[in-house]
Amino acid sequence: MKHTTQSPLGFTVEGVIALAGGRRVVADATGVSVQSIGKWTTRIPAVHARTVAILAGLPLEIVRPDLVRAGHDQVVP
């Protein structure tokens, strides 16, 4: 898999969602429809990235590296 800043490092968006429990679990946790989850093809939206990372048991740096400052766990505004 070719890595881009759009995709999770080493994981596909579908792979992260699967680790999080699947589309239904992610939809319930984020308050969006299962159909909306299906539209997350290139990356998980910033507003939901932390929730999905927690569900998947992955650090935010893996799910959305573009949102994390190097060495910190805070989302960049």
Tokens 């319930």 belong to: 28
What is the CB neighbour count within 10 angstroms for residue 73? 10
**Ranges of each domain in the chain:** 13-64
What's domain 13-64's architecture? Answer: Orthogonal Bundle (1.10)
pLDDT in tens, 1-59: 444 445 545 689 999 999 999 999 999 999 999 999 999 999 999 999 999 999 999 99
- 14: which 2 tokens? 């579908």
Q: Per residue in 44-73, pLDDT tens?
A: 999 999 999 999 999 998 899 888 865 555
Cβ count within 10 A of residue 46: 12
Q: What angle do CA 26, 48, 70 make, to 5 degrees?
A: 125
